[in-house]
Amino acid sequence: YGAASRFFTIAPNLDLGFTAFASPSASSCFTSTTPVIIRATNRGLNPVLAGQVVNFNVTVNPGAISLTGSYSIPSTIEAGGTVNIPCGNVDMTVIQAYTLTGSITWASDEVPLNDALSPALVVTSSAPIVVGGSYTNGLDNLTGWTITQVN
């Protein structure tokens, strides 16, 4: 509301918006079970109470892989707080670019315009680094230590 060219924006009371994909990210290690996780933010003035149900829809291309479902908020999200919503796993072992789009819906949401991620997330998997032959790293003669390969 406002007068004489002064306008004030009032934040809505209840607004849960799609902020980002928490996973995968550009630095993810892509596997046959790469988790897809939505991050949603409480952009409203009031808390989103525990037990509220949020529906999600995610599409991963190529392949038009669809992940849909619902998620019950485990604990109250205060204004400005976030929640990560696990959507399922996707096989991302093929070396290529993946485009992820998605949206959430919440029955009490007063601002549905921020419930879809825009622009889409594009992540690219890459070929694994293969080391051939033998090499010395200076750690070969340590005692009492175990060297473990980390992927």
pLDDT average per 10 residues of sequence, the chain (151 residues) = 58 92 86 94 96 97 94 97 97 91 96 92 73 50 54 50
Sign for the CA dihedral angle at 130, 131, 137, 143 comes to positive
How confident is the model at residue 63, as a pLDDT?
85
Instruction: Write out the DSSP string of the chain.
Output: -EETTEE-----SS-EEEEEEEES-TT----TTEEEEEEEEE-SSSPBPTT-EEEEEEEEETTTEEEEEEEE--S-B-TT-EEEEEEEEE---SSSEEEEEEEEEETT-S-GGGSB-SSPEEEE--PPP---S----S-TT-SS-------
d(CA 85, CA 71): 7
pLDDT, position 12:
84
Q: Report phi then psi at 8, rounded to 5.
A: -120, 135
pLDDT of residue 77: 98
Strand partners, 88: 36
What's the pLDDT score for residue 105?
97
Percent of the chain scoring above 70 in pLDDT: 76
Q: Looking at residue 27, what is its pLDDT?
A: 73
Structure tokens that stand for 139 in this block: 């750690």
Q: For residues 37 and 28, give the distance between their C-alpha atoms in angstroms, rounded to a whole number.
A: 12
Separation of alpha carbons 10 and 67, rounded Å = 34
The pLDDT score that the predictor gives to residue 102 is 96
pLDDT for the residue numbered 18: 97
